[in-house]
Amino acid sequence: MKAQIWVLGLALALIAGSAQATREEEGRRIALEMDRVESGYGDYRASVEMTLRDRKGRESRRYMRFLTKETHGDGDKSIVVFKQPRDIKGVTALTYSHKTDPDDQWLYLPKLRRVKRISSANQSGPFVGSEFAYEDIGSQEPEKYTYRYLDQGVHEDNPCHLIERFPVNPDSGYSKQVVWVEVERMIPWRIDYYDRKGELLKTLKNSGYQLYQQRFWRPDRKEMVNYQAGKSTLIEYSDYAFSTNLSDQDLSVSALKRSR
């Protein structure tokens, strides 16, 4: 009995002493689990409608097509083809994301038929004038952050883990993000973004989760509200198709010129 109390005491002391480490490990465990649940789709295609709303409520729309292919042991390869506004119709971006190295990025300008390698250092810049930064749109590799378990919470009746994540990339526009991950399905419902000064900048809310291929949960809508700018952007997905046999050739620099 005495020995058991000793062991318990020791265990408690260890837990107290390593609480910090445990919180980090727990945060990372949840992030990896979220990534595991999200991965394994091979490839997917989707159509995207983006609605940009300014401070006065004026709206403008963008239409684009997303193609994404998973790569073994590295980040995703993805293509975004712009459909509207029409002055940028056919402009296509190709990204090879990497777990820790900077991403490789090319842009295709259809009028000149020119493919340009561009800098991927612009992580914090706005994507097509929206409230989504390039780093919000890009592939969310778990290695791009360090983690800390924060708390438990409820998002619209869904019990969630709240984890903090801290960008590894010094070009990131954020000091931290708080991700609300549903306990049951390990899917993200909400992300709060804090700017470099540590002030709350934006909130992303996902909604309308649908199940694809009996395995992959994807939201129909993502809405980003920028508190500091008073603007918001709504992304609506449609025509999701998984395992469409996209090849590496389809996501190559040369394939950009096909301008779908």
Radius of gyration (C-alpha) of the chain in whole angstroms: 20
By the rule CB under 8 A, 84 interacts with another protein: yes
Helix axes 2-17, 19-38, angle to 10 degrees: 70
Rounded to the nearest angstrom, the gap between the alpha carbon of residue 64 and the centroid of all alpha carbons in its chain is 17
Task: Sketch the per residue contact string, 212 through 231, with another protein: x for CB under 8 A, - otherwise.
Answer: --------------------
Q: Choose the binding region for another protein from 71-79, 115-123, 153-161, 185-193 (rule: CB under 8 A).
A: 115-123
Is 117 a binding residue for another protein by CB under 8 A? The answer is yes
Tell which one of 3, 5, 21, 87 touches another protein (CB under 8 A). Answer: 87
Confirm or reject binding of residue 115 to another protein (CB under 8 A).
yes
State yes or no: residue 125 binds another protein (CB under 8 A).
yes
4 near another protein (CB under 8 A): no
Q: C-beta of 136: minimal distance to another protein in Å?
A: 14
CA distance 245 to 260: 16
List the interface residues with another protein, window 64-83 (CB under 8 A): 83
Q: Is 99 in the site for another protein (CB under 8 A)?
A: no
Looking at residues 159 to 188 of the shown chain, list those that interact with another protein (rule: CB under 8 A). 171, 173
Q: Does 8 bind another protein (CB under 8 A)?
A: no
Chosen residue from 40, 85, 159, 208 binding another protein by CB under 8 A: 85
Tell me which residues touch another protein (CB under 8 A): 52, 54, 60-61, 83-90, 102, 104, 112-119, 121-122, 124-126, 128-129, 171, 173, 247, 249, 252-254, 258-260
